[in-house]
Amino acid sequence: MQKRTVTLLGLVAAALVYGHTATAETLRVGMECTYAPFNYRTADGKLAGYDVDVANGVSEKLGVDLEFVCQEWSGMIPALLANKFDLIIASMSITPKRMEQIDFSSPYRVSIGRLVGPVGKGWQLFGADGAPIAASFKGLRVGVERASTYFEWFKAKLPDAELVLYDGAEPMYLDLKNGRVDVIMTNPMKAHLSFLSGEGKGKYEFVSPAINEPKYFGPGVGVGLRKGNEALRDKISDALRQLIREGKLEEYALKIFPFPIHDDAWAN
């Protein structure tokens, strides 16, 4: 009887040890899985996009396995903090506010925003100098994603706009098409590829210049991870710099866009 208990305990211990080593080599990566063309599922259910390519490139450099976890945008940082996954590779911009909670690697993509609205409304939303005209935004219904850098920018710069908050990009685009919001603020690369050059062609257009304010949008998009993992963070930053030097990031971008979406200076 006792012998059996000992064997059983041994098995449990072995399982625990084995289980532990298995997780040590696998990093769990959180992303939305619906944010085309950066992270999304293809028709046959595989994950693809720029973020996914970057994640795979980094994992190759680090020699670890990846496990992708799909998570709604607004819960991304809480989920990372709650240990649902180890890394955020989800087009998340590096901002001071987020850095109070989590750490970021060096950037791997530029971070800008732009407004999209229906064609032919004749709105004068931005002046010739590219600055927004506050009066034009009064009462304008603007769709932004909850917990996005665009939301922070609007709150600070144009408090008179009527902000409508979404938990993801897809429902926001739907409501723009349905006329529930007047304009949306979004990632111009995404807007161009998944909307303006396809379904929205001729009916919707950019109604603002590209807005690039590092104060709100940060220096770029990085890999997010829990604080206290400095060694891993530095390894990931190194891997990203190598990917830039080897031309891999450019290669990933050119699969989707006719231009690279990183800054070569980040390699130094």
Partner 1 sequence: MKVEIALDALPRMLAGIGLTFQLLLLALGIGTALAVLLLLMRISGRWWLSLPAQAYCYVFRGTPILVQIFIIYYGLPQFEWLRESVLWVVLRDPFGCAVLALALNVGAYVTEILRGGVLSVERGLLEAGAALGMSSTHRFVYITAPLAVRIALPAYGNEIISLLKSTALASTITLADMTGIARTVVAETFAPYEVFISLALVYVSLAWLIQRSMHRVEARIGRYATRRAG
Q: For binding to partner 1 (CB under 8 A), which residues are involved?
A: 74-75, 77-78, 81, 97-98, 101, 146-147, 151, 164-167, 171, 174-175, 178-180
Comparison of 49 and 224: residue with beta carbon closer to partner 1: 224
Which positions ≥6 away from 211 have C-beta within 8 Å?
Answer: 112, 113, 114, 130, 153, 217
Comparison of 180 and 201: residue with beta carbon closer to partner 1: 180
**116-138 core/surface letters (b: 16 or more CB in 10 A; e: else):** bbbeeeebebbeeeeebeeebbe
Alpha-carbon distance of 86 to 79, in angstroms, equals 9
Least Å from the CB of residue 4 to partner 1: 43
Comparison of 13 and 174: residue with beta carbon closer to partner 1: 174
Comparison of 11 and 81: residue with beta carbon closer to partner 1: 81
Comparison of 180 and 255: residue with beta carbon closer to partner 1: 180
Closest C-alpha among 151, 142, 154 to residue 74:
151
Comparison of 77 and 256: residue with beta carbon closer to partner 1: 77
Which positions ≥6 away from 13 have C-beta within 8 Å?
Answer: none
Comparison of 62 and 79: residue with beta carbon closer to partner 1: 79
Comparison of 75 and 209: residue with beta carbon closer to partner 1: 75
Least Å from the CB of residue 171 to partner 1: 7
Least Å from the CB of residue 98 to partner 1: 8
Q: Which H or E run contains 239?
A: helix 230-245
Least Å from the CB of residue 119 to partner 1: 18
Least Å from the CB of residue 12 to partner 1: 32
Extended beta strands in the chain, E state: 26-31, 34-35, 39-41, 47-48, 65-70, 87-93, 102-104, 114-118, 141-145, 162-166, 183-186, 204-206, 221-226
Amino acid sitting at position 208: S
Q: 104 and 223 in contact (C-beta within 8 Å)? A: yes
Least Å from the CB of residue 58 to partner 1: 24
Q: At what angle do helices 50-62 and 230-245 cross, to 10 degrees?
A: 110
Q: Which H or E run contains 73?
A: none
Least Å from the CB of residue 174 to partner 1: 6
Q: Where are the alpha helices (DSSP H) in 168-229?
A: 169-177, 188-191, 214-217
Least Å from the CB of residue 90 to partner 1: 14
In sequence order, what are the beta bridge partners of 31?
70
